[in-house]
Amino acid sequence: MQLRDPAHLVSPHAVAYWTVRAVPLWILVLAGELFWLSGSVAHSGLRVAVLALTVMFAAAHLMVMPRWRYRVHRWEVTATAVYTQSGWLIQERRIAPLSRVQTVDTSRGPLEQLFRLANVTVTTASAAGPLRIHGLDRATAEGVVAELTAATSHSEGDAT
Partner 1 sequence: MSVPGAEQNPRWRRLSARMLLVHPVRELGQAIPALLGLVLAGRAVGNGQLWWLAPLGVVGVIALSVLRWVTTRYRITAEQVQLRTGLLRRKTIATPADRVRSVHVTSSALHRILGLAKVEIGTGSHLPGSGLSLDSLRVTEAAGLRAELLHRSAVAPSEGPGTASLRAVPATAEAAPGDHDTQRDHDTELARMDPRWVRFAPFTMSGVLGAAAVFGIGSRLLNQFGVNAGEVAPIRGGLDYVRRTPFWLDALEGLVALVAFVTVLSIGGYVLSYWGFRLTRHPHGSLHITRGLLTTRATSIEERRMRGVELAEPLLLRAVHAARLSGITTGLKPKRGADGGSSMLLPPAPSSVARQVAAQILGDPAPMEVALTAHGPAARRRRFMRVLLVVLLLSVAAGVAIWWGAPQWLAFAALVTVPAAVMLAEDRYRSLGHTIAGRFLVARAGSLYRRRDALECAGIIGWNVRQTFFQRRAGLATLTATTAAGRQAYEVRDVPLHLALLLAHRALPGLLDDFLTPAPGLRT
Return residues touching partner 1 (CB under 8 A).
1-4, 6, 76, 78, 80-81, 83, 89-97, 100, 124-129, 131, 158-160
Which residue, among 139, 141, 82, has the nearest Cα to 106 in the 3D structure? Answer: 141
Which of 70/75 has CB closer to partner 1? 75
Which of 12/129 has CB closer to partner 1? 129
Which residue, among 98, 66, 73, 75, has the nearest Cα to 87 in the 3D structure? Answer: 73
Min dist CB 133 to partner 1, Å, is 15
Min dist CB 82 to partner 1, Å, is 8
Sequence-separated (6 or more) residues with CB below 8 Å from residue 123: 101, 102, 103, 104, 105, 130, 131
Min dist CB 94 to partner 1, Å, is 5
Sign of CA dihedral 139, 141, 143, 145: negative
Contact 84, 94 (CB under 8 A): yes
Q: In angstroms, rounded to a whole number, what is the distance separating the alpha carbons of residues 9 and 6?
A: 8
Which of 84/117 has CB closer to partner 1? 84
Sequence-separated (6 or more) residues with CB below 8 Å from residue 15: 66, 67, 69, 70
Which of 6/117 has CB closer to partner 1? 6
Which of 131/148 has CB closer to partner 1? 131
Min dist CB 31 to partner 1, Å, is 29
Min dist CB 83 to partner 1, Å, is 6
